[in-house]
Amino acid sequence: AQSVTQPDIHITVSEGASLELRCNYSYGATPYLFWYVQSPGQGLQLLLKYFSGDTLVQGIKGFEAEFKRSQSSFNLRKPSVHWSDAAEYFCAVDPNTGFQKLVFGTGTRLLVSP
Partner 1 sequence: EAGVTQFPSHSVIEKGQTVTLRCDPISGHDNLYWYRRVMGKEIKFLLHFVKESKQDESGMPNNRFLAERTGGTYSTLKVQPAELEDSGVYFCASSLRAGGLMNTEAFFGQGTRLTVV
Least Å distance, CB 57 to partner 1, is: 13
Least Å distance, CB 12 to partner 1, is: 19
21 contacts 8 by C-beta, under 8 angstroms: yes
Tell me whether residue 81 or residue 93 sits nearer to partner 1 (CB atom). 93
Scored b (16 or more CB within 10 A) or e, 40-52 reads: eeeeeeebbbbee
CA distance 50 to 19: 19
Tell me whether residue 69 or residue 101 sits nearer to partner 1 (CB atom). 101
Residues that bind partner 1 in the complex, under the rule CB under 8 A: 4, 32, 36, 41-46, 49, 51, 90, 92, 94, 98-107
